[in-house]
Amino acid sequence: MGQAQIVIDQVSHCYRPQRGREVLALDKVALDVREREFVALLGPSGCGKSTLLYLIGGFLPVESGRILVDGAPVAQPGPDRGIVFQHFALFPWKTVRGNVLYGLERAGMPQRERQRRAQQFIDLVGLSGFEDSYPSHLSGGMKQRAALARTLAFDPKILLMDEPFGALDSQTRSLMQGELLTIWQGSPKTVIFVTHDVQEAVYLAERVVVMSARPGHIKAVIDTKFDKGETDILKSKSFIEKVDEIWHLVRVEAIAAQGDRLS
Amino acid sequence: MARVAGSTALTAPVQASSLATRVIHYASRVAARSFTIVVLLLVWEALAHSGVVSRFMLPPLPSVIVRIIEQLGSGEFFVEAGRTLSRALAGFAVAGLAGTVLGMLMVRNAAARWFFEPVISVGFPMPKVAFLPIFILWFGVYDLSKITMIIVDAVFPVITATIVGLQGVEREIVWSARNMGATERQVLWQVMLPAALPQILTGLQVALPIAIIIAIATEMLMGGVGLGGAMLEASRSADSASVFAGLVETTAVGYAAIKAMALVRRRLLSWHQETQRSTGF
Amino acid sequence: MKQALIRYLPLVLLALAWEAVARFELVSRLALPTLTDVAVAWFDLLRSGELLTNAADSVYRGAVGLLLAVVLGGLAGVFMAFSRAVNVLLGPLVELFYPVPKSALIPITVFWLGFGDGSKILLIFLGCMLPVTIGAYNGARSTDQALLWSARSMGAGRLRVVWDVVVPSALPELLNGIRTAIALSFVLLVLSELIASRKGLGFMIGLFGSGGVYDAMFATVLTVALLGFVADRSFQLVMRRALAWQG
For residue C148, the model assigns a pLDDT of 80
**Cα distance from N-terminal residue to C-terminal residue, chain C:** 24
- B·C CB contacts under 8 A: 176
- Provide the pLDDT confidence category of residue B5 given band limits of 50, 70 and 90: very low
- Identify which has the larger pLDDT, A234 or B17: A234
Instruction: Examine the pLDDT at B276 and tell me if it is beyond 70.
Output: no
Chain C residue whose CA is closest to B231: C107
Q: Which among C95, C110, C187 has CB closest to B127?
A: C187
- A·B CB contacts under 8 A: 71
Report whether C140 contacts C82 (CB < 8 A): yes
Chain C residue whose CA is closest to B228: C104
Is B41 part of any domain? no
| pLDDT > 70: percent of chain B | 88
Q: For residue C95, which of B154, B34, B43 has the smallest C-alpha distance?
A: B34
| pLDDT > 70: percent of chain A | 97
Name the DSSP class of A222: E
What span, in angstroms and rounded, lies between the C-alpha atoms of B135 and B43?
Answer: 43
Q: Angle of helix A170-186 relative to helix A140-153, nearest 10 degrees?
A: 20
Chain B residues in contact with C102 by the CB 8 A cut-off are: 213
Record: contact B194-A93, CB cut-off 8 A: yes
Q: Which amino acid is at A197?
A: D
Is B242 part of any domain? yes
- Please name the residues in contact with C28: beta carbons below 8 A apart, sequence gap of 6 or more: none
Is C12 part of any domain? no
Is B130 part of any domain? yes
Is A47 part of any domain? yes
Q: What is the pLDDT of residues A85-130, one digit of tens each?
A: 999 999 999 999 999 999 999 888 999 999 999 999 999 999 999 9
CB count within 10 Å of CB A104 equals 25
Chain B residues in contact with C187 by the CB 8 A cut-off are: 127, 129
Chain B residues in contact with C135 by the CB 8 A cut-off are: none
Which of B232-241, B248-257, C189-198 is the least confident region?
A: B232-241
- Please name the residues in contact with C217: beta carbons below 8 A apart, sequence gap of 6 or more: B133, B134, B137, C205, C208, C209
For residue A236, the model assigns a pLDDT of 85
> Does A231 lie in the same domain as A213?
yes
- Number of structural domains chain A divides into: 2
With H, G, I as helix, E, B as strand and everything else as coil, classify residue B47.
helix
Q: Please give the radius of gyration of chain C, using alpha carbons only, rounded to the nearest integer.
A: 22
Q: How far does the CA of residue A236 sit from the closest CA of chain B (Å)?
A: 38
Q: What is the pLDDT of residues A37-62, one digit of tens each?
A: 999 999 988 888 999 999 999 999 99
Cis preceding-peptide flag for B133 (omega within 30 of 0): no
Q: What is the pLDDT of residues B123-177, one digit of tens each?
A: 999 999 999 999 999 998 889 999 999 999 999 999 999 999 999 999 999 999 9
Is B24 part of any domain? no
CB count within 10 Å of CB A71 equals 9
What span, in angstroms and rounded, lies between the C-alpha atoms of B102 and A167?
Answer: 37
| pLDDT > 90: percent of chain B | 61
CB count within 10 Å of CB C72 equals 14
Is B50 part of any domain? no
Q: Which among B132, B231, B255 has CB closest to C99?
A: B255
Record: contact C101-B136, CB cut-off 8 A: no
> Does A175 lie in the same domain as A61?
yes
Give the CATH number of the domain where residue B265 resides: 1.10.3720.10
> Does A219 lie in the same domain as A96?
no
- Please name the residues in contact with A206: beta carbons below 8 A apart, sequence gap of 6 or more: A37, A38, A39, A223, A224, A225
Q: Do chains C and B touch (3 or more CB pairs under 8 A)?
A: yes
Q: Buried b / exposed e across C231-242, counting CB within 10 Å, b at 16+?
A: bbeebeeebeee
Is C158 part of any domain? yes
Q: What is the mean pLDDT of chain B?
A: 86
> Does A186 lie in the same domain as A75?
yes
Chain A residues in contact with B170 by the CB 8 A cut-off are: 87, 89
**Domain's final residue, options A155, A189, A205:** A155
DSSP H helical segments within chain A, as ranges? Answer: 49-57, 96-106, 111-124, 140-153, 170-186, 198-204, 237-262
Q: For residue B57, which of B251, B243, B250 has the smallest C-alpha distance?
A: B243
Is C61 part of any domain? yes
Q: For residue B46, which of B64, B57, B65, B60 has the smallest C-alpha distance?
A: B60
Question: Cα–chain-centroid distance for residue C46?
Answer: 23
For residue B39, the model assigns a pLDDT of 82
Q: How far is CA A149 from CA A10, A119, A128, in A?
A: 33, 9, 11
Where on the phi/psi map is residue A3: left (φ > 0), alpha (ψ -120 to 50), or beta?
A: beta
Helix (H), strand (E) at residue B86? helix B76-108
Instruction: Examine the pLDDT at A153 and tell me if it is beyond 60.
Output: yes
ipTM field: 0.89
- Provide the pLDDT confidence category of residue B12 given band limits of 50, 70 and 90: very low
Record: contact A89-B176, CB cut-off 8 A: yes
Q: How far is CA B52 from CA B41, B49, C116, C119, C181, in A?
A: 16, 8, 22, 19, 32
What span, in angstroms and rounded, lies between the C-alpha atoms of C233 and C8?
Answer: 15
For residue B6, the model assigns a pLDDT of 41
> Does A177 lie in the same domain as A96?
no
- Number of structural domains chain C divides into: 1
Q: What is the pLDDT of residues B186-230, one digit of tens each?
A: 999 999 999 999 999 999 999 999 999 999 999 999 887 899 999
What span, in angstroms and rounded, lies between the C-alpha atoms of A27 and A14?
Answer: 9
Query: Which chains border C (3 or more CB–CB pairs < 8 Å)?
Result: B
Give the CATH number of the domain where residue C63 resides: 1.10.3720.10
Q: For residue B147, which of B209, B206, B101, B84 has the smallest C-alpha distance?
A: B84
Instruction: Examine the pLDDT at A262 and tell me if it is beyond 60.
Output: no
Is C29 part of any domain? no
Average pLDDT of span A119-147: 94
> Does A230 lie in the same domain as A191?
yes
Q: What is the pLDDT of residues A226-237, one digit of tens each?
A: 777 677 778 888
- Number of structural domains chain B divides into: 1
B195 lies within 8 A of chain A by CB:
yes
B268 lies within 8 A of chain A by CB:
no
Report whether B186 contacts B177 (CB < 8 A): yes
For residue B16, the model assigns a pLDDT of 56
Q: What is the pLDDT of residues C10-32, one digit of tens each?
A: 999 999 999 999 888 887 777 88
Its domain, for residue A115, covers 87-155
Average pLDDT of span A131-157: 93
Per-residue pLDDT of chain C (247 residues), as tens digits, is: 788 888 899 999 999 999 999 888 887 777 889 999 999 999 999 999 999 999 999 999 999 999 999 999 999 998 898 888 888 888 888 888 899 999 999 999 998 898 999 999 999 999 999 999 999 999 988 888 788 888 877 777 777 777 778 888 889 999 999 999 999 999 999 999 999 999 999 999 999 998 989 999 999 999 999 999 999 999 999 999 988 877 5
Chain C residues in contact with B5 by the CB 8 A cut-off are: 81, 141
For residue B279, the model assigns a pLDDT of 39
Q: For residue C74, which of C161, C133, C125 has the smallest C-alpha distance?
A: C133
Q: For residue C186, which of C73, C35, C81, C59 has the smallest C-alpha distance?
A: C59
Phi, psi of A33 (to 5 degrees): -125, 125
What span, in angstroms and rounded, lies between the C-alpha atoms of B50 and B44?
Answer: 10
Q: For residue B242, which of B229, B255, B254 has the smallest C-alpha distance?
A: B229
Is C136 part of any domain? yes
Is C153 part of any domain? yes
Its domain, for residue B101, covers 69-269
| Residues β-bridged to residue C27 | none
Q: Which amino acid is at A77?
A: P
For residue C153, the model assigns a pLDDT of 79
Which of A65-74, B60-69, B108-117, B270-279 is the least confident region?
A: B270-279
> Does A177 lie in the same domain as A59?
yes
Average pLDDT of span A157-182: 93
Question: Cα–chain-centroid distance for residue B209?
Answer: 3
Q: How far does the CA of residue C144 sit from the closest CA of chain B (Å)?
A: 5
Report whether C77 contacts B22 (CB < 8 A): no
Q: Give the full edge-to-edge strand order of the sheet including A207-211.
A: A81-84, A158-162, A190-195, A38-42, A207-211, A218-223
Is A128 part of any domain? yes
Instruction: Measure the CA dihedral B173/B176/B180/B182, to 10°.
Output: 40
Where on the phi/psi map is residue C200: left (φ > 0), alpha (ψ -120 to 50), or beta?
A: left
Instruction: Mutation target for B interface from A53, A69, A86, A93: give the one with most B CBs within 10 A.
Output: A93
For residue C27, the model assigns a pLDDT of 78
Is the Cα dihedral A198, A204, A208, A211 positive or negative?
negative
- DSSP notation for A202-214: HHH-SEEEEEPSS
Average pLDDT of span B92-117: 95
Average pLDDT of span A148-163: 94
Record: contact A81-B179, CB cut-off 8 A: yes
Q: Give the full edge-to-edge strand order of the sheet including A23-33.
A: A23-33, A6-15, A64-69, A72-73
- DSSP notation for B175-208: HHHHHTT--HHHIIIIIIHHHHHHHHHHHHHHHH
Instruction: Examine the pLDDT at A188 and tell me if it is beyond 70.
Output: yes
Longest Cα–Cα distance in chain C: 74
C78 lies within 8 A of chain B by CB:
no
For residue B281, the model assigns a pLDDT of 38
Is C51 part of any domain? yes
Question: Cα–chain-centroid distance for residue A35?
Answer: 15
| pLDDT > 90: percent of chain A | 74
Q: What is the pTM of this model?
A: 0.85
Interface of A with B (CB under 8 A): 54, 57, 59, 76-79, 81-83, 85, 87, 89-95, 102-103, 106-107, 134-137, 150-151, 154
Its domain, for residue C92, covers 34-241
